[in-house]
Every structure is written in C-alpha cells, then in structure tokens.
C-alpha cells in the first residue's frame, strides 16, 4: 500500500490507463459542499442525539415529528448547497470515459443529489434518497412540496409527518434506516460494477456502515487496484493499493486530470 498526499507516477498511470472505473462515495464526498457527515456532531435540537440514533425505524415510530423534521431540515440544507469540485471532477471523468467507449460508475452511500446536480449519472443510491418519500405502512410513494426550512439555521421545532392519502399512516423519508435492508437492485448493481471494473476508487467513507462497506472488497477477488481518497485512515485502508490522504474536492480533480 502506498500512502500519498499527491498523485505520483504509479497512480497517474493507473488512472490514465483505466477504462472501466467503479467509484464508491460516502458522506465525506459531500462534506466540502457543507453537508455534515455522520461522524460530525449534530447541531441545535438534535445535538443530544447521534445521527445513528435518529436514522432508525424505532426512532421514527417513537418520535415521528423529531425524525421527520430532521430529514426535512437536512433536505433543505442539501437544496441550499452546491456540488463541490470533487462532484464536478467525477462527472467530467465519467463523460470523458463514456466518449471513449469506457465507463465510470458511481455507487453512493449518500442520500443527497449532489452527484446528479454536478451532471453525473449515479448507478446506485445504496441508502436511498432524502428527496423520495413513501407511506411507512403501505409503501405508496408520496409527492411532497420542498421543505421551506433554512438548512443553515438550527433545525426548527419538530412538526408531524404528513399522513398517507391511501391508508392514513405516516409518510416517511425514502432512505434506508439502520436495521433495514438495502435496495437489493442497487446493491447488486454496485457489486456487478465493482466485479467488472479495472480500477475501484473509494472516496469519503469511513468504511464502517455495512453492508455498503464490504462492496469495495469485491475488488480483491480479481486483484483490481483499489484507491482510497480520504484525509483520514479508515476501516478499508489496509485493503487499499493507494491511500490518497486529503479532501476529495482537491484530490478528485487531480486524479481525473
Ligand atoms: C442492515 C441513510 C440488516 C439514512 C444510512 C455491528 C457490526 C456490523 C454491522 C452492524 C452492527 N450493528 C448493526 C449493524 C448493521 C448496520 C451497521 O453497519 N452499523 C454500523 C454503524 C456498525 N447496518 C445497517 O443497519 C444496514 N442494514 O444491516 O440490515 C438486515 C439484514 C437482513 C434483513 C433486514 C436487515 C443499513 C445501513 C444504512 C443506514 N443508513 N444512511 C440517513 O442518511 O439518515 S448510513 C449513513 O451513515 C450514511 O448514508 C453513510 O453511509 C453512513 C456514514 O458513513 P460514511 O458515508 O462513511 O460517512 P461517515 O460520516 O461515517 O465518514 C465520513 C468519512 O468522510 C470519514 O472517513 C472522513 O474522514 C471522510 N471525510 C471527511 N471530509 C472529507 C472526507 N473524505 C474526503 N473528502 C473530505 N473533504
Ligand atoms: Zn399508506
């Protein structure tokens, strides 16, 4: 494993020769856009709860207004921020490769839409989307107006989630909570992309949350090179061929150059 803070010749050659790249992104990829990661402390009303405690079905059933408002406030924040140079570099690299018969697939653990807003196609949202909503009981999709919170202010007083027009149960966010299965189609698509890739890049994830964190390890089956982009070491660092230590907003543009 090589631990680098900038691109060396080995790494440059690897990324320039790659024609089929699978990229997995986590909360750290959106951090430079101003979206807090799960490791960071909560603010305001939620500072006494960890994200992990709120992102569960139990929390939603116990305190629907608190959990619902936390998601609608997070959605407001995401709508108020912009993709960062890491998102743009990935989108440009994807377009450049597609123009040469290659492929760059993105599987993200993030529930935001910043990859898409940077112009990228996303193969898999492994943990769902904060922009989707459905009935917690009958599962029917719910189309809701955007929240009008100010994501830059501390979250507001909790408000009750809307009720399903069909069955009257609470509407919930279209994300995967702890203890819930991941969408199998998304998970399988990400696994297939990694299995056929000639380079795998893991950026902005602590590699703690399963089963998403086990996906990059599929690259080991065929000896596909693995690159980590993260300012810190992670649970996955030991499996990497290159650990690029720094923010993805700086390093992805350098990698994609
Ligand atoms: C399931 C949606 C089972 C919601 C999310 C004990 C051991 C092992 C596993 C478990 C266990 N107990 C429970 C489990 C399972 C559990 C789990 O993994 N828990 C962990 C905490 C141990 N997993 C689950 O529950 C999953 N489901 O297992 O179901 C099952 C099986 C059969 C039948 C039924 C059920 C579901 C997990 C999905 C949870 N939902 N998100 C929401 O967003 O609110 S996960 C959520 O947290 C995020 O989506 C994200 O994936 C995750 C946080 O991880 P990261 O993305 O890595 O972010 P993190 O904050 O951790 O790290 C940020 C990284 O960025 C850091 O490394 C940092 O250094 C870096 N960084 C910072 N700045 C930058 C940067 N990098 C680059 N550039 C920068 N500028
Ligand atoms: Zn319903």
CATH number of residue 62's parent domain:
3.30.1600.10
| pLDDT band, residue 218 (cuts 50/70/90) | very high
The answer to whether 160 touches 131, Cβ cutoff 8 Å, is no
Examine the domain organization and report whether 155 and 239 are in the same domain. Answer: no
Domain extent for 251: 1-35+83-127+182-257
115 is catalytic: no
Cα atoms in the 13 Å half-sphere on the side-chain side of 19: 4
Examine the domain organization and report whether 54 and 163 are in the same domain. Answer: yes
CA of 133 to the centre of ligand 2 (A): 11
* Structural domain count of the chain: 2
Give 18-37 pLDDT, tens digit per residue. Answer: 999 999 999 999 999 999 88
pTM: 0.96
Which residue in 115, 127, 133, 170 is the catalytic one? 127
Element of type H or E holding 129: strand 128-135
| pLDDT band, residue 192 (cuts 50/70/90) | very high
Residue 51 reports pLDDT greater than 90: no
Examine the domain organization and report whether 143 and 69 are in the same domain. Answer: yes
Q: Which residues, judged by CB distance below 6 Å to any ligand atom, belong to the binding site of ligand 1?
A: 26-28, 31-32, 37-39, 52, 55, 109, 111, 127, 175-181, 203-206, 208-210, 212, 229-232, 234, 247-249
CA of 125 to the centre of ligand 1 (A): 13
Residue 234 reports pLDDT greater than 60: yes
Give 69-97 pLDDT, tens digit per residue. Answer: 999 999 999 999 999 999 999 999 999 99
Query: How much is the mean pLDDT over the chain?
Result: 95
Question: Beta-carbon neighbour count of residue 51 at 10 Å?
Answer: 18
Residue 130 reports pLDDT greater than 90: yes
CA of 186 to the centre of ligand 2 (A): 24
Q: What are 149's two structure tokens?
A: 């919170």
Examine the domain organization and report whether 160 and 237 are in the same domain. Answer: no
| Lookup result for tokens 């408002």 | 69
């Amino acid at each position: 494993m090589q631990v680098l803070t900038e691109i060396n010749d080995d790494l440059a050659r690897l990324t320039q020769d790659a024609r089929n790249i699978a990229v997995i992104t986590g909360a750290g990829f959106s951090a430079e856009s101003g979206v807090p990661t799960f490791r960071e402390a909560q603010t305001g009303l939620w500072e006494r709860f960890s994200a992990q405690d709120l992102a569960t079905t139990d929390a939603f059933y116990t305190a629907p207004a608190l959990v619902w408002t936390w998601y609608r406030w997070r959605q407001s924040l995401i709508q108020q921020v912009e993709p960062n140079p890491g998102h743009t570099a990935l989108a440009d690299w994807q377009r450049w490769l597609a123009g040469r018969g290659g492929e760059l697939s993105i599987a993200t653990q993030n529930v935001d839409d910043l990859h898409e807003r940077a112009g990228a196609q996303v193969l898999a949202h492994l943990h769902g989307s904060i922009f989707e909503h459905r009935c917690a009981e009958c599962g029917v999709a719910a189309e809701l107006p955007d929240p009008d919170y100010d994501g830059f202010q501390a979250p507001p007083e909790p408000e009750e989630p809307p009720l399903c027009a069909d069955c009257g149960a609470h509407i919930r966010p279209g994300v995967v909570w702890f203890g819930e299965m991941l969408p199998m189609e998304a998970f399988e698509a990400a696994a297939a992309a990694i299995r056929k890739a000639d380079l795998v890049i893991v950026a902005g994830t602590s590699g703690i949350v399963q089963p998403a964190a086990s996906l990059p390890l599929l690259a080991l089956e065929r000896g596909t090179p693995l690159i980590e982009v993260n300012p810190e070491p992670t649970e996955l660092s030991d499996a990497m061929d290159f650990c690029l230590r720094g923010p993805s907003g700086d390093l992805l543009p350098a990698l994609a150059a």
